[in-house]
């Protein structure tokens, strides 16, 4: 097995950088950062356009939530494979292929959207194919981020990358809302596809000379996948992080699946209002990621993860309760900040608690875990359909709070790290 060369990311004679933007001192990280934020722009455009067009054409909260769920479900099967592929092959090439693949998928979605989503079943099939791409994208991106800086800068690198993704996503969400209004959903899908392809090209350039092979190539791909799955049971810290991820993903992150319905039914705004709401969540996520950047190499990372989960539940349960659009704009920033910080802390803890040669598979295990999110998306859609989206969000937020309390009580190991 080859040794990891992460420390070579630092120039000769160059002291370790400090401060909230420490990771930007490394040219390779800057290239990876740019590629990842371009991909984020494409993702936000796809999500916003999909949710709005499905709700408009079907008038169903459940089907709107299902359109998000069907994209996440493939991760349960493919994420461990995606993690193994990210450890074995060039991550830049994976991103390039993924970007072109997503552009093709979105072109088909544009054609169906132009035909008023007829036939509807085909929309869900195409969205499932979109989820296939994400199963390979996330492990590749996170592997590139942590390979581009020394170990002690990884928490900052993850936070800086997350901040960039969220900042660009906030602008992209607002732009997508106005693009849907001015140009229509099909054009928005096409533009998002072009952005994905461009991001893949940037990732290929960023990956040049970035990493060396760290896997024992005598091991089979199946063996690599099995090794990744073993991470979920053999390492106590990793196991607890992934269990927490599953619960918060099901009851917390699923809120995005009913955001179009929240905008239209609870807050009485149009697609531009939805874009603004999504943008404010993105603005909040920038603050959440920036907060981690300022903390630097914070020692009690496990406690911080639990605290963020508790805050997430509080903001989520109160976000749409008042029915006031102005109040919702403020509270959704707290939701976005908590979501971004929670994701970044999970990635950081996983990367720091597994061997260097299994970083891709560790993220693949995480993507596998959050693949359960489709359960929450369908559940929120069904509850929102029956008793209203505000009550659905309140229940989801309270469950996230309960999860944080239970993890705090039963996991001394996570509290100590």
Answer yes or no: are the C-beta atoms of 380 and 228 closer than 8 Å.
Answer: no
What percentage of the chain has pLDDT greater than the value 90?
Answer: 15
Return d(Cα 299, Cα 296) in angstroms, integer: 9
**pLDDT mean over 374-392:** 87
Task: Answer with the residue of higher pLDDT: 172 or 54.
Answer: 54
- What confidence tier does 261 reach under pLDDT thresholds 50, 70, 90? confident
pLDDT tens per residue, range 104-132 = 999 999 999 888 888 888 889 999 998 88
What is the pLDDT at residue 316? 92
What is the pLDDT at residue 2? 37
Q: Answer yes or no: is pLDDT of 251 > 70.
A: yes
Return d(Cα 73, Cα 57) in angstroms, integer: 23
**pLDDT mean over 385-401:** 90
Q: Is 402 exposed, middle or buried (0-12, 13-18, 19+ CB in 10 A)?
A: middle
The CATH H-level superfamily of 25-208+225-416 is MFS general substrate transporter like domains (1.20.1250.20)
- Which residues contact residue 45 at a Cβ distance below 8 angstroms, ignoring those fewer than 6 apart? 172, 175, 176, 179, 188, 189, 191, 192, 195
- What confidence tier does 397 reach under pLDDT thresholds 50, 70, 90? very high
Length in residues, the chain: 417
Q: Answer yes or no: is pLDDT of 286 > 90.
A: no
3-state SS string for 307-365: HHHHHHHHHHHHCCCCCCHHHHHHHHHHHHHHHHHHHHHHHHHHHHCCCHHHHHHHHHH
Q: What residue ranges do the domains of the chain occupy?
A: 25-208+225-416
- What confidence tier does 310 reach under pLDDT thresholds 50, 70, 90? very high
Task: Identify how many contiguous H helices and E strands the chain contains and give both numbers.
Answer: 17, 0
Q: Answer yes or no: is pLDDT of 86 > 90.
A: no
What is the pLDDT at residue 8? 41
**pLDDT mean over 344-363:** 73
pLDDT tens per residue, range 404-414 = 999 988 888 78
Q: Answer yes or no: is pLDDT of 14 > 60.
A: no
Instruction: Calculate ∠ Cα 5-89-215, nearest 5°.
Output: 55
Least confident of 127-136, 209-218, 227-236: 209-218
Answer yes or no: are the C-beta atoms of 109 and 123 closer than 8 Å.
Answer: yes
């Amino acid at each position: 097995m080859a040794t990891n060369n992460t420390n070579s990311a630092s120039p000769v004679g160059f002291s370790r950088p400090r401060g909230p933007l420490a990771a930007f001192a490394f040219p390779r990280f800057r290239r990876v950062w740019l590629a990842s934020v371009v991909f984020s722009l494409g993702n936000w455009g796809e999500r916003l356009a999909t949710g709005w067009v499905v709700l408009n054409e079907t008038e169903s909260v459940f089907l709107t939530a299902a359109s998000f769920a069907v994209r996440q479900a493939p991760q349960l099967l493919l994420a461990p494979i995606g993690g193994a592929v990210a450890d074995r092959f060039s991550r830049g090439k994976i991103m390039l292929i993924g970007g072109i693949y997503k552009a093709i998928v979105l072109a088909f979605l544009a054609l169906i959207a132009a035909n008023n989503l007829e036939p509807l079943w085909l929309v869900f099939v195409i969205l499932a194919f979109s989820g296939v791409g994400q199963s390979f994208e996330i492990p590749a991106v996170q592997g590139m981020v942590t390979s581009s800086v020394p170990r002690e800068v990884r928490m900052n690198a993850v936070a800086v990358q997350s901040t960039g993704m969220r900042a660009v996503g906030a602008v992209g969400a607002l732009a997508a809302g106005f693009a849907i209004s001015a140009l229509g959903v099909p054009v928005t899908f096409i533009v998002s596809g072009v952005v994905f392809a461009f991001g893949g090209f940037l990732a290929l350039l960023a990956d040049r000379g970035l990493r060396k092979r760290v896997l024992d190539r005598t091991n089979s791909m199946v063996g690599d996948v099995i090794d990744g799955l073993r991470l979920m049971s053999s390492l106590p810290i990793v196991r607890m992080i992934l269990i927490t991820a599953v619960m918060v993903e099901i009851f917390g992150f699923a809120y995005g699946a009913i955001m179009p319905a929240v905008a239209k039914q609870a807050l009485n705004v149009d697609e531009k209002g939805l874009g603004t709401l999504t943008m404010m969540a993105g603005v909040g996520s920038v603050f959440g990621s920036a907060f981690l950047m300022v903390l630097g190499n914070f020692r009690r990372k496990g406690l911080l993860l639990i605290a963020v989960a508790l805050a997430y539940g509080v903001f989520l349960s109160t976000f749409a309760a008042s029915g006031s659009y102005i109040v919702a704009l403020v509270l959704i920033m707290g939701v976005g900040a908590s979501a971004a910080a929670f994701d970044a802390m999970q990635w950081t803890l996983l990367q720091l608690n597994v061997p260097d040669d299994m970083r891709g598979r560790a993220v693949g295990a995480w993507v596998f875990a959050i693949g359960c999110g489709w359960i929450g998306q369908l559940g929120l859609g069904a509850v929102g359909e029956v008793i209203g989206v505000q009550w659905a969000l309140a229940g989801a937020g309270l469950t996230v709070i309960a999860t944080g309390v239970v993890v705090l009580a039963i996991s001394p190991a996570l509290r100590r790290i």
